[in-house]
Amino acid sequence: MHPKEQRLKYRENVENGTTSGICDGYLQANMISLPAKYAFEFLLFCHRNSKPCPVVDVLEAGQVIPRIADADIRTDLPKYRIYKNGVLERETFDLTDVWEDEFVTFLLGCSFTFEKALNEAGISLLHQEMKKVVPMYQTSISCEEAGSFKGDMVVSMRAIKKEELEETIRITSMFPHAHGAPVHIGDPAEIGIHTFEHPDYGEFTPFNEEERIPVFWACGVTPQYVGLNAKPEIMITHAPGHMLITDQKE
């Protein structure tokens, strides 16, 4: 199905499931909307931390149509989250009632892009085989702060077969707009992860440590986490796994 048609289903609330595997081959993006007064510092945070926060599009105040999708950002994602003062208030399928003209929206690259490239190279991804959400962790890796936006990096983990490690690094390095090369390989404790089998987000899948090695990538949850740290009066994001499907081919 073409992204435009699929987004119409979300707009009309005929569907509202995860976008994982939907409109294969089209770029999907994380969304974060904030009042305009936060826009400079948030963009600067993204610039200083481009691995977790690869900006693929920005909608200035008053704009609701991205440059990379013929979509309405207020209605065309399957599910949203509304945070107030850094606390989740509710999930919703439509932002029409809360939207303000002064919101600035950031669209950030997502690991779906590099996972697809890994799939195509025949590299085995356990969380996909097990149909689980990739495990994600808070780390002790500091992000460079920008104004009120500060905090540690969130990473995602994929246990990669040792003989596929080099190829995995090579492939993901080719996607700077989708988190790029890994930020850490091996011992989770070295980056402050002490409950490896109990991730902060997503699900852990046990693996054979003789065969596979844990590989960590900067994760698009980082800017949400950092955004909430700043406790803006309102912040709107996509619901996890419910991304914007763009019109751009991957």
| Residues at the site binding a copy of itself, with contacts judged by CB under 8 A | 36, 39-41, 43-44, 47, 55, 58, 60, 104, 146-147
- The nearer residue to a copy of itself, 55 or 165, going by C-beta atoms, is 55
Handedness of CA 89, 226, 15, 62 (dihedral sign): positive
Helix, strand or coil, per DSSP, at residue 79: coil
SS (H, E, C) 172-195: HHCCHHHCCCCCEECCHHHHCCCC
- The nearer residue to a copy of itself, 12 or 144, going by C-beta atoms, is 144
- The nearer residue to a copy of itself, 20 or 148, going by C-beta atoms, is 148
- Residue 88: how many other CB atoms lie within 10 Å: 12
Shortest Å, Cβ 46 to a copy of itself: 9
- The nearer residue to a copy of itself, 59 or 213, going by C-beta atoms, is 59
- The nearer residue to a copy of itself, 44 or 234, going by C-beta atoms, is 44
Shortest Å, Cβ 186 to a copy of itself: 29
Shortest Å, Cβ 239 to a copy of itself: 26
Shortest Å, Cβ 40 to a copy of itself: 4
- Compute CA 236 distance to the chain's CA centroid, rounded to the nearest angstrom: 14
Shortest Å, Cβ 43 to a copy of itself: 5
Spatial neighbors of 111 by CB under 8 A, at least 6 apart, are 134, 156, 178, 179, 217, 219, 220
Q: Is 52 within 8 Å of 176 (Cβ atoms)?
A: no
- Compute CA 184 distance to the chain's CA centroid, rounded to the nearest angstrom: 18
Spatial neighbors of 238 by CB under 8 A, at least 6 apart, are 30, 31, 77, 79, 80, 81, 244
- The nearer residue to a copy of itself, 41 or 167, going by C-beta atoms, is 41
| Cα–Cα distance measured from residue 112 to residue 77, given in angstroms and rounded to the nearest whole number | 16
Shortest Å, Cβ 44 to a copy of itself: 6
Token digits of residue 242 = 């419910």
Shortest Å, Cβ 147 to a copy of itself: 6
- The nearer residue to a copy of itself, 55 or 171, going by C-beta atoms, is 55
